[in-house]
Chain A
Amino acid sequence: MPGIGAEGSSLPSPAGSLPAPAIGWQRPLRAWLKRGWLGLLVATIMALLVLPPVWTLLQTSFSATQTDLSYGGLTLEHYRSLIQGRNLGNAALNSVTFALLATLVSLCFGGVLAWLVERTDVPMKGLAYVTTIISLGTPYILYVTAWLYLLGRAGPFNDFYRSWIDAEAMPFNVNSLGGMVLIEGFLWSPLVFLMLSATFRAANAEMEEAARMSGASIPQTVWRISMRLAWPAILALALFVFIRNLESFEVPALVGMPGRVDVLTTEIYRSIKEMPPRLGYASAYSVVMLLMVGVLLFAYGRISRHAERYASITGKGYRPRPFRLGRARWLAGCVILFNFLVVLALPLCALLWVAFMPFMRPMRWSAVKFLTTKQFDAVLSSPHYLSLGVNTLVIAVCTATIAMALTVLAGWLAARRQVAGGVIDQLVTVPLVFPGLVLGVALLELSLKSPLPLYGTTWLIMLAFTIRYMPYGMRYAYAGVLQIHPELEQAAGVAGATTGTTLRRIVVPLLWPSIASGWLFIFLICAKEMSLPLLLAGPDSQTISVAMFDLWSNGQGGEVAALGLLWAALMTLFASGFYAIMRRHAAKTFGH
Chain B
Amino acid sequence: MLNVRGLTKVYANKGDGPSGGVQEASFDLQPATFFTLLGPSGCGKTTTLRCIAGLETPDAGSIRVADTTFFDSAQGVSVPMNLRRIGMVFQSYAIWPHMTVFENVAFPLRVTKGEKLTGAEIGRRVEEALERVSLQGFGGRSATRLSGGQQQRVALARAIVLRPRLLLLDEPLSNLDAALRDEMRNELRRLQQQIGITTVYVTHDQTEALEMSDQIAVMERGRIVQIGAPRDIYFRPANAFVAGFVGTTNWLDGAMGEACGPGIRQFRLGDGRSLQCILGNQQTTGGARISVRPEKVVLRRDGAPAAAAHNRLDGTVVFAGFLGTMNRYQVDIGGSTMQVYDAADAAFTVGERVALDFPVADTVALDG
Contacts and interface: CB of A to CB of B under 8 A. Distances in A.
Contact of A206 (B81, B83, B92): B92
Contacts of A209: 55, 81, 90, 94
Interface stretch (A88-96, A308-316, A483-491): A308-316
Interface stretch (B107-115, B294-302, B313-321, B352-360): B107-115
Contact of A225 (B84, B87, B96, B155): B96
A212 B97 contact: no
- Identify whether the interface residues of B are mostly helix, strand, loop, or mixed: loop
Given A206-B91, A220-B111, A212 B81 contact: yes
Contacts of B83: 215
Contacts of B92: 204, 206, 314-317
Nearest to B151: A313
A213 B111 contact: no
A160 B287 CA distance: 86
Contacts of B96: 207, 210-211, 225, 228-229
A207 B299 CA distance: 54
A214 B158 contact: yes
Given A206-B90, A309-B144, A313-B144, A214 B97 contact: no
A313 B97 contact: yes
A81 interface: no
A246 B53 CA distance: 49
B93 interface: yes
B88 A210 contact: yes
A228 B98 contact: yes
A222 to B, nearest CB: 13
Contact of A204 (B94, B98, B112, B155): B94
Contact of B82 (A217, A225, A313): A217
A220 B96 CA distance: 14
A264 B247 CA distance: 74
Contacts of B108: 214-215
Nearest to A220: B111
A315 B87 contact: no
A313 B162 CA distance: 25
A231 interface: yes
A246 B241 CA distance: 66
Nearest to A217: B82
B97 A310 contact: yes
A229 B55 contact: no
A214 B90 contact: no
Interface in A278-321: 309-310, 313-318, 321
A321 B81 CA distance: 14
Contacts of B88: 210, 213
B87 A213 contact: yes
Contacts of A310: 97-98, 144
Contacts of A213: 53-55, 81-82, 84, 86-88
A321 B155 CA distance: 21
Contacts of A212: 55, 81-82
A195 interface: no
Interface in B71-93: 81-88, 90-93
A216 interface: yes
Nearest to A210: B94
Interface string A199-241: 0000010110111111111001000110011010000000000
Contacts of B93: 315
A207 B155 CA distance: 11
B85 A215 contact: yes
Contacts of A217: 82, 111
A441 to B, nearest CB: 42
A126 B82 CA distance: 32
Nearest to A229: B98
Interface in B48-65: 53-55
Contacts of A214: 82, 107-108, 111-112, 158, 162
B299 to A, nearest CB: 46
B98 A206 contact: no
B20 to A, nearest CB: 11
A215 B82 contact: yes
A315 B144 contact: no
A231 to B, nearest CB: 7
A215 B54 CA distance: 12
B259 to A, nearest CB: 50
Nearest to B56: A321
A330 to B, nearest CB: 21
B111 A211 contact: yes
B94 A315 contact: yes
Interface in B124-183: 144, 155, 158, 162, 175
Contacts of B162: 214-215
Contacts of A216: 82, 107, 111
Contacts of B90: 206, 209-210, 315
A210 B168 CA distance: 12
Contact of A229 (B84, B91, B97): B97
Nearest to B105: A214
Contacts of B86: 213
Contacts of B144: 309-310, 313
B257 to A, nearest CB: 49
Nearest to B81: A212
Contacts of B94: 204, 206-207, 209-210, 315
Contacts of A314: 92, 97
Interface of A: 204, 206-207, 209-217, 220, 224-225, 228-229, 231, 309-310, 313-318, 321
18 contacts: A204-B94, A206-B94, A209-B81, A210-B88, A211-B111, A212-B55, A213-B84, A213-B86, A213-B87, A213-B88, A214-B108, A214-B111, A220-B111, A309-B97, A309-B144, A313-B144, A314-B97, A315-B94
What are the 7 tightest A-B residue pairs by CB atom distance, in nearest-first order? A315-B92, A215-B112, A214-B108, A210-B94, A206-B94, A216-B111, A206-B90
Given A217-B111, A313-B95, A315-B90, 10 more contacts: A206-B91, A210-B96, A211-B107, A213-B82, A215-B85, A215-B113, A216-B111, A229-B96, A231-B98, A313-B97
